[in-house]
Amino acid sequence: MNKTSLILIVALLSGLGAWSCKEKPVEIAPEIAASDEALYKAGQEIMKKDAEKARLYFRQVIDSFPKSFYAQRAKLAIADSYFDKGDESSMILASAEYREFIQLYPYSPSASYAQYRIALTFFKKTLKAGRDQTKTTQALLEFKKVITNFPLSEEAKLAQKQLTECEERLAAHTFIIGEHYYRVYAYKASTERLSEILTSYPSYSKMDEVYYYLADSYYKWKKTEESIPYFTKLVTDFPESKFAKKAQERLAEIRKAGAKQAR
């Protein structure tokens, strides 16, 4: 075969790197196929128009030049292309590609970026409080990895903010459940759920409500002594809260009942 007319046929399964007979082969000119930089730039040029074809160029960089600087960039470009697509299945593929990047290049300056993007693949699919919080929990764990493994990175700063958002959402979800148990007189269950917020999500923005419903659950459960510290904490720490007045009324009732028993 004449070298000047040589055509390399690359047919890789997008996202998994396996051969696929369903994809159209990409014709790569010899001068491009011989250069990691040229292959990478070729992929970049067509990314917006044809992401699948661009990924084939990027995978060729990785396969032909695995130790190249452009191989790292190509790996991230593949992951980013799935991430940018945004649907559920693409986010799963993006997460897998980012994880593989960290495994292949653990000391790369872009490893923190890859870990942060893994967290975002879950964070962007989280649901509101009251609905399934599996994605929120997963996002929280992945953001913690960014902060723990790459504490000095810019991504760690971003992760901290979103980690706080995850904790707020999980706390709100737990509160909804705890308040529901309170409403149906299941005080043992409500105290367990609301106590969980105190230990797991101490920065929850509606902690005054948590203290009130936790204290009142104990109070209505006839565990008066257990309720007093939480009513007192509410009055002391949140004097302007609408629940503070209710807490003061409960404390007054408790003191009055105690005075009667002492007679």
| Under 8 Å between Cβ of 195 and 213 | no
Tokens for 84?
Answer: 């940018």
Percentage of residues of the chain with pLDDT beyond 90? 83
User: Per-residue pLDDT for 188 more than 50?
Assistant: yes
Rounded CA-CA distance 98/77 in Å is 10
pLDDT band at 24 (very low <50, low <70, confident <90, very high): low
Burial (CB count within 10 angstroms: exposed 0-12, middle 13-18, buried 19+), residue 154: exposed
Q: Which backbone phi and psi does 236 adopt, to 5 degrees?
A: -75, -45
Q: What is the pLDDT of residues 236-248, one digit of tens each?
A: 999 999 999 999 9
User: Per-residue pLDDT for 12 more than 60?
Assistant: no
pLDDT band at 34 (very low <50, low <70, confident <90, very high): confident
pLDDT band at 8 (very low <50, low <70, confident <90, very high): very low
Which is nearest to 61 in space by CA: 22, 32, 20? 32
Q: In angstroms, what CA-CA distances link 254 with 86, 187, 262?
A: 55, 18, 12
Which is nearest to 87 in space by CA: 51, 59, 115, 113? 51
pLDDT given for residue 26 in this prediction: 64
Q: What is the pLDDT of residues 100-148, one digit of tens each?
A: 999 999 999 999 999 999 999 999 999 999 999 999 999 999 999 999 9
Higher pLDDT, 78 or 32: 78
User: Per-residue pLDDT for 21 more than 70?
Assistant: no
Across residues 44-54, what is the average pLDDT?
Answer: 94
User: Per-residue pLDDT for 2 more than 50?
Assistant: no
Which is nearest to 14 in space by CA: 69, 80, 93, 76? 93
